[in-house]
Amino acid sequence: MLYDEMIISHEVTPLTMAVLSIEDEKGMRKTIVLEKSGEYHVDVPPTKVIDEACRFYGSSLRGRLEGTRDISKITHKAPIVIDPSLGMYFFPTASPSNRDCSWIAHSHVQEINPHGKKETKIVFKNGQTIVVPVSYGSMLNQLQRTAQFRFSLDTRMKQLHDVLERKRND
């Protein structure tokens, strides 16, 4: 399902695979939201779409970035969790302040492959592919840092759950 018209906002969900930065014919930054079942064109930049998703789940992009920094010490091109209970972890392809920054959903990535010197092909679990203008080494680093952040946050949440469960049973 492809919508040719731009929409104002689109909720990021567990079915969202990527939030991609594009430039329209007037040089304005817009977004393609790539879902498992189609894509949507959104009339705002990707970082705005991600910030709105974070706010929908009770935080903001800035808050999520600060949380990542506190948990993992990652400060540059940091991955974020939009909602940990839904497994919604995303990583940026560039600094979020860069207008070309796109966001990739960690849980949907099957593999990444080099595609020329400064591009990477991302293969999603449903077989769809995209090419991003980022080196393979940088994308591999982003994928691995997101996995480590995800593990650290999941471990922290499990430990808290275990402590609360023990106190409840005492």
Task: Supply the pTM of this predicted model.
Answer: 0.89
3 within a domain of the structure (yes/no): no
- The answer as to whether 5 is a domain residue is no
Query: CA of 37: how far to CAs of 7, 14, 57, in Å?
Result: 17, 12, 22
Residue 74 belongs to a domain: yes
Flag whether 29 is in a domain: yes
Q: How many domains does the chain have?
A: 1
For residue 168, the model assigns a pLDDT of 82
Percent of the chain scoring above 70 in pLDDT: 94
Q: Give the residues across from 39 on adjacent strands.
A: 2, 34
- 80, 64 contact by CB (below 8 A): yes
Using 50, 70 and 90 to split pLDDT, how confident is the model at 155? Answer: very high
* Inside any domain, residue 157: yes
pLDDT over 60 (residue 113): yes
Q: Which residue segment(s) compose the domain that 115 sits in?
A: 16-161
Q: Is residue 9 part of a domain?
A: no
Whether 29 and 99 have beta carbons less than 8 Å apart is answered as: yes
Asked if the structure places residue 35 within a domain, the reply is: yes
Q: Where do the H-state alpha helices sit in 81-122?
A: none
The reply to whether 48 falls in a domain is yes
